[in-house]
Amino acid sequence: MPKKKTEPTKPTSTRKPYPYLALGEEFFDIVKPALFPETILRYRNNRAAASVGLDGLSDEDWIYHFAGFMPLPDNLPEPLAMRYHGHQFRSYNTDIGDGRGFLFAQLESKDGRLLDLGTKGSGKTPYSRFGDGKLTLKGGVREVLATEMLEALGVYTSKSFSLIETGEKLERTDEPSPTRSSVLVRLSHTHIRFGTFQYLAYWEKHEEIKTLIDYCIEHFMEHQVYEQGAARVIGFYNDVITRSASMVAGWMAAGFVHGVLNTDNMNVSGESFDYGPWRFLPEADPNFTAAYFDERGLYAYGRQPEAVGWNLAQLGGTLTKHASQEDLNRALSRYPVMYERMMSYQFSRRFGVEGLTGDFVGSLLKWMEATKIPFERVFFDWFCGSASEARADRSPHADLYKADAFKPIREKLMAAKPVRPERLENAFFEGEPCTMLIDEVEAIWEKIDQDDDWSAFDQKLEDIAVMRRAYALYGPKTS
């Protein structure tokens, strides 16, 4: 553990009183972080740090707080392991909770929003079961890459805030062992899961469910106007449905496969988080799975909307003491319509145009599946629609774009109004698309693992940053 400095740099972002702590002891267990034999800073997200006033920390202070887990000034005095249950591959599991992480701090962003700093790999908790509470360095590297890529593609996601190598050798059954260790800190709007509500419902903590709904509304649904009583509960549920539909539509437009869409891996804020065996599609394939253990294809690319809908139904089942089943069912019936609306929005945004329809999206994905064109390529070549026609005709895949099968899609792209076509002036569009395929990820890790060479990792993050600035796909759609 790092030595304590006499006067660590005081962050400018604090949060007092402590909102999650104020919920009460039914929601968490106070825990202690692990002590690590070594701490090497591998990644710090200075953009995210600036949003919560922590960008002024020196690297030494950064390690002091985000590996030593010394409390931030005027913030949570002790880490909190959050309690939750969950359906894991649709089997209900009561024997889970924060097993290798905790809520470390709650900060107020510069625009007044409450944000959480949570950990992954910070040591054992009462929910670790037979695990060691640790995170492999490869797992940490993968999460940084996934979150940066998704953010650049306009998907609402938690941010990888910090990655510190911790000098241990871990044994794992799903990768060569022993393997290097790390601790990750993520920044997100909340760490409240569908499984948090399931835990409370299982133990018949119905008043606590109302308290948690009020907490969510106050701290990250403040843009809505809510009534009281059952209408308030339905309003909350509708908001979660909308946010979840936006999230999964964003994944579909990004060609992203989460891999393990259990209810304990879904955040009520609609942020993507809990990254495990994720993959990006090399080409459109509805049956593509990310997890080798997903033998039934339950969480395949094309089944992700279904999985999210099923999980939303489980969340609704925890609210039946506070709203009628009829009203909850009516709210849930909005999900397919909302998902289609969000698919139109997300695919339009990825193409940099207005007004693409659900029919267009369906035709596009069928064409992409049939032609096996690289998934990211078509969005890159046709960004801003008609404004990229000449670019598309110079593409290595121009023959596909000139074929009769593409003609209906081309006509709709040409007819759609470009949004901010000046974005095409960015030099990014003169090169090649930025991708995050499994071979690239493995090549990045191999250099780190074999030679402690982080240059490919750093270069990929720079490539993603260039893409993020070029596409400029900022902010989630939550209505």
238 and 138 within one domain: no
The number of beta carbons lying within 10 Å of the beta carbon of residue 224 is: 13
The stretch 240-264 carries a mean pLDDT of 98
Pair 255, 167 in one domain: no
User: Strands 86-88, 91-93: parallel, antiparallel or unpaired by DSSP?
Assistant: antiparallel
Banded model confidence at residue 1, pLDDT cuts 50, 70, 90: very low
Asked whether residue 318 carries a pLDDT value surpassing 90, the answer given is yes
Whether residue 207 is contained in a domain is answered as yes
Q: Give me the pLDDT at residue 350, please.
A: 98
Residues 207 and 186 in one domain: no
Structure confidence by residue, pLDDT tens digits, 206-220:
999 999 999 999 988
Q: What digits encode the pLDDT tens for the residues 371-409?
A: 999 999 999 999 999 999 999 999 999 999 999 999 999
The dihedrals phi and psi of 83, each to the nearest 5 degrees, come to: -90, 135
Q: What is the pLDDT of residue 225?
A: 65
Question: What's the pLDDT tens digit per position in 93-120?
Answer: 999 999 999 999 999 988 888 999 999 9
Is the per-residue pLDDT at 479 higher than 70?
no
Listed residues 155, 172, 191: the one ending a domain: 191
Asked if residue 8 has pLDDT above 60, the reply is no
* pLDDT single digits (tens) 277-314: 999 999 999 999 999 999 999 999 999 999 999 999 99
Contacts of 165 (CB under 8 A, 6+ apart): 38, 39, 40, 42, 137, 180, 181, 182
65 and 158 share one domain: yes
Q: Please state whether the predicted TM-score (pTM) of the whole model is above 0.75.
A: yes
- 148 and 167 part of one domain: yes
Query: In terms of pLDDT, which residue wins out, 5 or 118?
Result: 118
Picking from 301, 318, 345, the residue at the C-terminal end of a domain is 345
In a domain, 266, yes or no: yes
Give the pLDDT score at 21: 86
The predicted pLDDT at position 112 comes to 85
> For residue 42, is it within any domain?
yes
pLDDT digits 0-9 by tens, 39-55: 999 999 999 999 999 99
162 found inside a domain: yes
Residue 13 covered by a domain: no
Pairwise pLDDT comparison (111 vs 160), residue with the higher score: 160
Report the binding-site residues for Mg(2+).
Answer: 265, 274
Q: Which one of 345, 365, 399 terminates a domain?
A: 345
**Is 264 in the active site?**
yes
At 7 the pLDDT is: 43
Domain count, the chain: 3
- Inform me whether the pLDDT recorded for 4 exceeds 60: no
Lowest mean pLDDT among 166-175, 319-328, 375-384: 166-175
Give residue 290's Cα distance to chain centre.
15
Q: Report the pLDDT averaged over residues 324-342.
A: 98
- Per the domain annotation, does 93 fall within a domain? yes
Other Cβ atoms within 10 Å of 419 Cβ, number: 18
Give me the pLDDT at residue 201, please. 98
295 and 208 assigned to the same domain = yes
Full domain range(s) for residue 262: 195-345
* End-to-end CA separation in angstroms for the chain: 45
Tokens representing 409?
Answer: 């899609």
At 3 the pLDDT is 45
pLDDT at 93: 97
pLDDT, position 222: 66
Instruction: Answer yes or no: do 167 and 229 share one domain.
Output: no
Please state, rounded to an integer, the average pLDDT across all residues of the chain.
94
Q: Say if residue 135's pLDDT is above 60.
A: yes
**For the chain, what is the HEC assignment?**
CCCCCCCCCCCCCCCCCCHHHHCCHHHEEECCCCCCCCCEEEEECHHHHHHCCCCCCCHHHHHHHHCCCCCCCCCCCCCEEEECCEEECCEEECCCECCCCCEEEEEECCCCCEEEEEEECCCCCCCCCCCCCCEEHHHHHHHHHHHHHHHHCCCCECEEEEEEEEEEEECCCCCCCCEEEEEEEEEECCCCEHHHHHHHHHCCCHHHHHHHHHHHHHHHCCCCCCCCCHHHHHHHHHHHHHHHHHHHHHHHHHCEECCCCCHHHCECCCCECCCCCCEECCECCCCCCCCCCCCCCCCCHHHHHHHHHHHHHHHHHCCCCCCCHHHHHHHHCHHHHHHHHHHHHHHHHHHCECCCCHHHHHHHHHHHHHHCCEHHHHHHHCCCHHHHHHHHHCCCCHHHHHCHHHHHHHHHHHHCCECCHHHHHCHHHHCCCCCCCHHHHHHHHHHHHHHCCCHHHHHHHHHHHHHHHHHCCCCCCCC
Catalytically annotated residue among 61, 264, 285, 381: 264
Asked if 156 and 181 sit in the same domain, the reply is yes
Q: Is 8 exposed, middle or buried (0-12, 13-18, 19+ CB in 10 A)?
A: middle
Do 292 and 178 share a structural domain?
no
Asked whether residue 384 is assigned to any structural domain, the reply reads: yes
Nearest to 120 by CA among 74, 81, 71, 176: 81
> 86 and 146: one domain?
yes
Task: Report pLDDT for 5.
Answer: 43
* Residues ≥6 apart with Cβ < 8 Å to 5: 60, 61, 64
Shared domain check, 338 and 359: no
Backbone angles phi, psi at 310, to 5 degrees: -65, -45
Question: Does residue 280 belong to any structural domain of this protein?
Answer: yes
Q: How many residues belong to the chain? A: 479
Q: What is the pLDDT of residue 6?
A: 40
Instruction: Provide mean pLDDT across the span 425-449.
Output: 98
Indicate the angle between helix axes 325-332 and 304-317, nearest 10 degrees.
160
The annotated binding site is made up of 97, 99-100, 120, 132-133, 186, 193, 265, 274
Residues 306 and 361 in one domain: no
pLDDT at 130: 86
Name the binding residues for ATP: 97, 99-100, 120, 132-133, 186, 193, 274
